[in-house]
Amino acid sequence: MSEIEFRRAQAHDLPAIVALLADDALGAGREDQSTPLAPSYLDAFSAIEADPNQLLAVAVEAGQLVGTLQLSFIPSISRKGAWRGQIEGVRVASRGVGKRMIEWAVEECRSLNCSFVQLTTDKSRREAHAFYEGQGFTASHLGYKMAL
């Protein structure tokens, strides 16, 4: 497998990031790939960039953007003031990239002294469940969402 570069996303990456987010049945209904991109994407990118506890990352292979995820570093009073890493919006366009991207994200969290890393995935994404369990994650909690 060729070398993969993991780096902070840049504004010019947004169309490719949105395309990755829209590249499955769930994402296709949630995202808007029209050009120019909706201002809400640019606003969110600016907010992420301005927050030192957020990292929108991309994986680049042979000059092509092949993966993205967002890391949130969350301080907490619980667990004796432990920091946690939250992984969100994981999308990959190439087999083998996901494992390397998750390993990279876990190391980023470890380097910032997070006590643990957590993520959520849609209940319908059964392949993702098996993938994350294969990476050492356990389905230890039940999560809830409320649309606003």
Q: Which among 123, 86, 83 is positioned nearest to 139, based on CA atoms?
A: 123
pLDDT confidence of residue 23:
87
DSSP E strands in the chain: the ranges are 4-8, 54-61, 64-75, 83-92, 116-119
pTM of the predicted structure, to 2 decimals: 0.91
Q: How far is CA 16 from the centre of its chain?
A: 14
Domain count, the chain: 1
Q: Is the pLDDT score of 1 beyond 80?
A: no
CATH code, domain with 86: 3.40.630.30
Q: Is 57 part of a structural domain of the chain?
A: yes
Q: Tell me the chain's radius of gyration from C-alpha atoms.
A: 15
Q: Is 143 part of a structural domain of the chain?
A: no
Range of the domain at 84: 4-134
pLDDT in tens, 78-100: 999 999 999 999 999 877 899 99
pLDDT in tens, 20-64: 999 887 888 889 889 999 999 999 999 999 999 999 999 999 999
Q: Kindly indicate the confidence band of residue 101, based on its pLDDT and cuts at 50, 70 and 90.
A: very high
Q: Is 80 part of a structural domain of the chain?
A: yes
Q: Is 54 part of a structural domain of the chain?
A: yes
Q: Is 129 part of a structural domain of the chain?
A: yes
Q: Residue 51's CB: how many other CB atoms inside 10 A?
A: 11
Q: Is 85 part of a structural domain of the chain?
A: yes
Q: Is 110 part of a structural domain of the chain?
A: yes
Q: Is 139 part of a structural domain of the chain?
A: no
